[in-house]
Amino acid sequence: MDAIAAKAHIFTMLDVDGDGVISRQEYLARPERAAAALGREGGDPLVSAARTAHERVYASMDANGDGKVTFAEYATWAGAETFDDVCRHALGSLFDLADTDADGTLGRAEFTRLRAVLGNPTENAEKAFDALDTDGDGHIDRDEYLASIRAYVTDGASPMAEALHNGTSRSVRRPDDGVSF
């Protein structure tokens, strides 16, 4: 998969209602859904950090400030620099919500719960865990998790993403040119 196809796939995942835009409400619901599913209370400092990080991402993603991110906006915005500046913090905050023992790693159960909250089937999440756990120690650390997502966004290639998305992609239609992925 190339970087544009990866961006289209991510856009489709973020466009929860499938209307062709990522609304502010859709995007900012991610940390709330994750917190609820992972057993975190709304007042938990990690939940507050996740909210703040996601608000920052959405503000940078919504180039014209209209509360709706189109694929064209998203594709222009998404990339290595953006990932390093804002996305890493938001995705890291979701990792932290799943890290129930706060050891900086996710075991298989923690990883699978996180990925299920983000919409991946359990079987695919388990395969993704195996793809990331290259040393076989039963844990994925925060940096390797984030590096795998960064590789997918910037290069369109990541063993974790390949396992997560194998057979789960709905057709991605870019509203700007009608090309489907």
E strand map for 25-181: 68-69, 105-107, 139-141
Number of compact structural domains in the chain = 1
Q: What pLDDT score does 181 carry? A: 25
pLDDT at 172 over 70: no
The answer to whether position 148 is within a domain reads yes
Which residues are CB-contacts of 9 (< 8 A; sequence separation ≥ 6)?
A: 1, 165, 169, 172, 181
The answer to whether position 179 is within a domain reads no
The answer to whether position 64 is within a domain reads yes
The CATH number that applies at residue 32 is: 1.10.238.10
Q: How far, in Å, CA of 12 to CA of 7, rounded?
A: 9
Q: How far, in Å, CA of 99 to CA of 73, rounded?
A: 32
What digits encode the pLDDT tens for the residues 56-79? Answer: 999 999 999 999 999 999 999 999
Domain residues for 74? 3-165
